[in-house]
Chains A and B, each alone.
Chain A
């Protein structure tokens, strides 16, 4: 007899039981157990029971009667059944949108989320045609970058467990641009411009750092898997947003300084909206805007400014203007004189 069948029969029996069911009765009632010898039935039942408990099925062990001599099993309905939830039409549409997102596996625990939404389906299902048509206008594309390791990282952040992985960092500094084993205390995750990052205390660099998940070159492993957690405390003043709202030129690399950049009217609106309130943006005379920012990583900043071509001009400091000039001349030199470069 099929194991799935046996398990469904067992759940059905224990759910419907008026009183706790003895082992003996379980053995004689459910066809899958009947053929087994007593010891092998007991092993089988123990395995089945723990499997069901792992699924979250509440199996109680209670005395069968008032004398309390014989024990039996039952599943209390009130602990098993998910209560009915009356969602509005708008809420159903929104939850179906969540369903679309979790089916793309770009989140931590997205498979668990999909399973949860399946459990909610009786409360979402009626009038499904209408609901599904409406949620069709919004979609989530499959993720560009692998979301592998996200679940492990989130669980490690939630349970405060130290993890290790091989990380390929970019950049030019010492020790950059190659893969190294890292050990971090993960404090949290963030999603930015299509990519996932984890923020945590890096044991190698001895400071809080961000790591892009797509640059991991190994699986994420717990460092102290055998022991009880937690492995670390998150600093009480830590705020995820302090680390996640960081633009490429704000990752420390060298000295920091203030810079002013003039944007043309054609592009200023977009830059201003994109950067948000945290940045100082003043209107310029011609309808464009002047951005004032703190630069910590000049290379990243220049890349960003130059991507706007003539629509962005560095106003100050003078040495940054010189850097732009130098970079442009170098590029021009590399292009060569009309022939092959």
Chain B
């Protein structure tokens, strides 16, 4: 089986892109085609050697890299990219379907019309829409998609958002004013990255824990670029890090399941048993995690967590007496 996208396929896409956008920067080409600068330069060098017989200077494709700007001429026969293979078309529709289902408006309806347009220009029957709808399902956090749409508008328009938020870590509902910066889909949930007026720092909020929200008419200035950068992976969930080290030992029956839980920063085997470590700044949420794990887990440290779990268990038992 050929590489999904080898050098030839990329070259046949790079040429029409430059022809359409003469003077495009090398950086933009790297970004659009997802390759390194060295790779793009070697691609352009190769294009420069190609052309029509008899390959005199007048027959060759003209490639001009002026500083950072790229120009291509004498390649009109490559003005359009090659059509999709059927695997590419399936892949494209699968990815479109995923984004359509997993993100809110306006992306969802824009994609529906984009997919229709693509199907419209290709021959009938070549687009595997039915096959894809029939064979793949995406479970979006549906009731929250409306909020995702609202929040993405608030990000774009830089408007302050007022919200009621349930903090799982602290087990409390608070009202906050936030400056929404970006939304990220990870681990099956949408997360809002925002500057938080309560803590006066950038925080990550899980969208399904927003009880209520309102976009205010107040605008805000975004923080400097570097601060608004990518969410770090550890920022998800309650385990945002902290000074308290918690070590848990799991029974072999629970070990595999424990490994799938996204909260641990270290997982190791100690004398044949699975020991997981999590760093946190408060224990409240861990008590509830432990209730979920049942008798298959043992608290190695800290002792305070044992005490708190004991009190919690006694309180819970009294509900059922």
Evaluate contact between B91 and A107: CB separation under 8 angstroms: yes
Evaluate contact between A87 and B114: CB separation under 8 angstroms: yes
Given contacts A30-B53, A138-B103, contact A8 B135 (CB under 8 A): no
Q: Which residues on B are within 8 Å of A, measured CB to CB?
A: 2, 4-13, 16-17, 19-21, 24, 28, 31-34, 46-47, 49-55, 77-85, 87-92, 94-96, 98-99, 103, 106-108, 110-111, 113-114, 117-118, 121-122, 128, 131, 134-139, 141-144, 152, 155-156, 166, 173, 181-189, 208-209, 211, 230-231, 233, 253, 256-257, 260, 262, 287-289, 291-295, 298-299, 306-307, 309-310, 312-317, 319-321
Residues of B within 8 A of A313 (CB): 319-320
Residues of B within 8 A of A87 (CB): 114, 117
A153 and B97 alpha carbons, distance in the complex (Å): 17
How many A residues are at the interface, by size bracket? 35 or more
Evaluate contact between B110 and A266: CB separation under 8 angstroms: no
A112 within 8 A of partner (CB): yes
Residues of A within 8 A of B110 (CB): 88, 90-91, 93-94
A214 and B262 alpha carbons, distance in the complex (Å): 13
Q: What are 9 A-B residue pairs whose CB atoms fall within 8 Å in the complex?
A: A110-B95, A112-B92, A140-B186, A170-B256, A177-B253, A273-B144, A306-B288, A306-B316, A307-B288
A54 and B1 alpha carbons, distance in the complex (Å): 8
Contact of A5 among B31, B32, B49 (CB under 8 A): B49
Evaluate contact between B166 and A112: CB separation under 8 angstroms: no
A190 and B231 alpha carbons, distance in the complex (Å): 26
Evaluate contact between A4 and B92: CB separation under 8 angstroms: no
Residues of A within 8 A of B31 (CB): 132
Contact with B along A183-206 (1 / 0, CB 8 A): 000011111111100000000000
Contact with B along A132-171 (1 / 0, CB 8 A): 1010111111101000000000100110000000001010
Evaluate contact between A273 and B166: CB separation under 8 angstroms: no
Evaluate contact between A310 and B316: CB separation under 8 angstroms: yes
Residues of B within 8 A of A55 (CB): 2, 6, 8-9, 82, 85
Evaluate contact between B313 and A112: CB separation under 8 angstroms: no
Contact with B along A49-61 (1 / 0, CB 8 A): 0010011110000
Evaluate contact between A122 and B17: CB separation under 8 angstroms: yes
Query: Taking the nearest CB of chain B, how far is it from the CB of A38, in angstroms?
Result: 19
Evaluate contact between B16 and A137: CB separation under 8 angstroms: no
A23 within 8 A of partner (CB): no
Query: Taking the nearest CB of chain B, how far is it from the CB of A19, in angstroms?
Result: 14
Given contacts A112-B90, A118-B10, A154-B94, contact A307 B292 (CB under 8 A): yes
Evaluate contact between B28 and A109: CB separation under 8 angstroms: no
Instruction: Choose, from A64-72, A249-257, A324-332, the stretch at the interface.
Output: A324-332
A334 and B98 alpha carbons, distance in the complex (Å): 45
A30 and B51 alpha carbons, distance in the complex (Å): 10
Closest to A132 in B: B31
Closest to B88 in A: A116
Residues of B within 8 A of A241 (CB): 137
Q: Across the A-B interface, give the 5 residue pairs with the lowest CB-CB distance, nearest first.
A: A141-B186, A194-B188, A109-B91, A112-B91, A113-B91
Evaluate contact between A240 and B138: CB separation under 8 angstroms: no
Interface residues of A in 295-317 (CB under 8 A from B): 302-304, 306-310, 313-314
Q: Is the interface of A mostly helix, strand, loop or mixed?
A: helix
Closest to A307 in B: B292
Evaluate contact between B81 and A115: CB separation under 8 angstroms: no
Contact of A112 among B85, B136, B155, B307 (CB under 8 A): B85
Instruction: Choose, from A96-104, A222-230, A282-290, the stretch at the interface.
Output: A96-104
Given contacts A188-B135, A190-B137, A307-B292, contact A85 B121 (CB under 8 A): yes
A126 within 8 A of partner (CB): yes
Evaluate contact between B186 and A194: CB separation under 8 angstroms: yes
A232 within 8 A of partner (CB): no
Given contacts A112-B87, A266-B173, contact A273 B208 (CB under 8 A): yes
Residues of B within 8 A of A141 (CB): 184-187, 231, 233
Closest to B49 in A: A5
Evaluate contact between A240 and B5: CB separation under 8 angstroms: no
A84 and B19 alpha carbons, distance in the complex (Å): 14
Contact of B182 among A111, A137, A304, A335 (CB under 8 A): A137
A22 within 8 A of partner (CB): no
Contact of B253 among A80, A102, A172, A273 (CB under 8 A): A172
Evaluate contact between B103 and A5: CB separation under 8 angstroms: no
Contact of A54 among B2, B152, B188 (CB under 8 A): B2
Evaluate contact between B231 and A125: CB separation under 8 angstroms: no
Closest to A176 in B: B253
